[in-house]
Structures are given as C-alpha cells and as structure tokens.
Amino acid sequence: MRYNTSMKNLKNALLLKQLYQLKQLGYKYTSVTAYKDEEQDFTLPNTLKSLEKQAIECYLCELSKSRHKVVFGEGNQDADILFIGEAPGATEDSTGKPFVGRAGELLTKMIENVLHISRNDVYITNIVKCRPSNNETPTPSQAHTCQPYLLKQIELIRPKLIVTLGVTAYHYLTGDDTELSKVRGTIHKQNDYTIIPTYHPSYLLRNPSAKKEVFDDLLKVKELMAK
C-alpha cells in the first residue's frame, strides 16, 4: 500500500510539473488528468542501475535546481543491511557518493569496528537523493516525492535489516513521529524487513556522549544478523 501511494505521489508530482510548464507557455486548459488508482502504466525500473539513471534525470522537486550531483546510494546490491540517512551534505553533493564527509568517516568506523564487516558489504542511501539548501531538513513534499526511489531500492536490495540514521529517516520510512530518543535501539517489523533506528553520525559529532547508545544499537544489529 505504501509503495502504491508513493507511486501515485510521484506520478502526480510529474503531472503538476507538466501543468506548471504549460502555464508558463500560456496555456489555460489542458487534457492532463490526475493519477487514478486503476492506472498501472507508471512503473520504476527493476534494476538499481536503471533506477539510478532515472533518479539522476529526475527534476520533480525544487532540490534538482540547486544540486550538483544526485546521490543515489552505493554498496553491495545484495546487502543484508541497509543504512538510510536523511539527505546528502555538501561533500556528498560534490562527489555523488553518500556519507563521505566527517559523518561518513564515522559511519564507516561504526560499521567496521562494531559490526566487523566492510562498508562495501552494506548498502547506504538517504531519504532524499539531492542536497537540501543549507543542509536543511527535507520538507514533507521533498521526502514524499523521492520516496518511490527509496522504496524501490529496498524492494530490489531486499535487506534483512534496515538501520535508520536519525529521526528524519525513521519518520519517513515508518510514518512514526515518536522522538528518536524513545525508539532508538528498538526493533520494528515492516513488510519483509526489520528496522532499527539509531542516531545519525552527524549527531554523534555534536554529541559524543551518545556514541555509547549507538554502540549498543549496533551490537543489537550484529546479534540479529547472527541469527
């Protein structure tokens, strides 16, 4: 149901963009109609490579106007663990790779030193694929427009476990707006995968004392993956 709703949101976003372009050209009326539930002609590609190509060519929201590069995600396409952050930062925007700044270095250490696996063994992405201006939190419109790409990534990768990094990732993946401090480290079953929310590495850079809590959360991840 969430995937179908996201498909509708993406389709409507595309139609709204077309209507706006027609308006700029001076048109007052158009035959373009809103997405209907019975329509089944709008699907996303069934490979990560093709999906990334479509995301790179996406101009459905205002973030596309200021981005330098789309940050689709990277890692093992058959990963058992998927990490989802909030949005690309300045370094990610310039390189097209997720989590490559200071927060990325910390995430890599978390994966290697606690989970004892290579960063290349997991897959890493974000709720939105383009950098918000001034590193602002993605708006609901931006997050929902990009959501079909994320849900399709999950469908194709089929991870056993998803670690959401920060409250934004947790909220938009689950729809739960509970404070992160109250849910971090807890286990949430959704569809065919398990979600464990924890703090974002950027938060840890500002609040080093929270590293112990994330360490405990990742130990739980390691325990679950060992079963």
Q: By C-alpha distance, which of 50, 129, 44, 45 is closest to 86?
A: 129
pLDDT tier for residue 40 given thresholds of 50, 70 and 90 = very low
pLDDT of residue 134: 87
**Which domains can be identified in the chain, with CATH numbers?**
1-39 (no CATH), 44-225 (3.40.470.10)
| 8 A C-beta contact, residue 51 and residue 149 | yes
Which has the higher per-residue pLDDT, 20 or 219? 219
pLDDT tier for residue 38 given thresholds of 50, 70 and 90 = very low
pLDDT of residue 24: 56
What is the pTM (predicted TM-score) of this model? Answer: 0.83
Give 114-121 contacts, CB < 8 A, sequence gap 24+: 114/215, 114/218, 114/219, 114/222, 115/81, 115/218, 115/221, 115/222, 115/225, 116/222, 119/75, 120/75, 120/76, 121/75, 121/76, 121/79, 121/81
Mean pLDDT of the chain: 88
Helix, strand and coil percent figures for the chain, each rounded to 5? 50, 10, 40
Tally of CB atoms within 10 A around 169: 28
C-alpha span between 157 and 103 (Å, rounded): 24
98 pLDDT exceeds 50? yes
Q: What percent of the chain has pLDDT over 90?
A: 76
Q: What's the rounded mean pLDDT across residues 16-23?
A: 54
For residue 74, the SS3 value is strand
pLDDT in tens, 56-80: 999 999 999 999 999 999 999 999 9
Tally of CB atoms within 10 A around 17: 13
pLDDT in tens, 195-204: 999 999 999 9
51 pLDDT exceeds 70? yes
| 8 A C-beta contact, residue 154 and residue 194 | no
Q: What's the rounded mean pLDDT across residues 207-218?
A: 97
Q: What are phi and psi of 42, to 5 degrees?
A: -115, 105
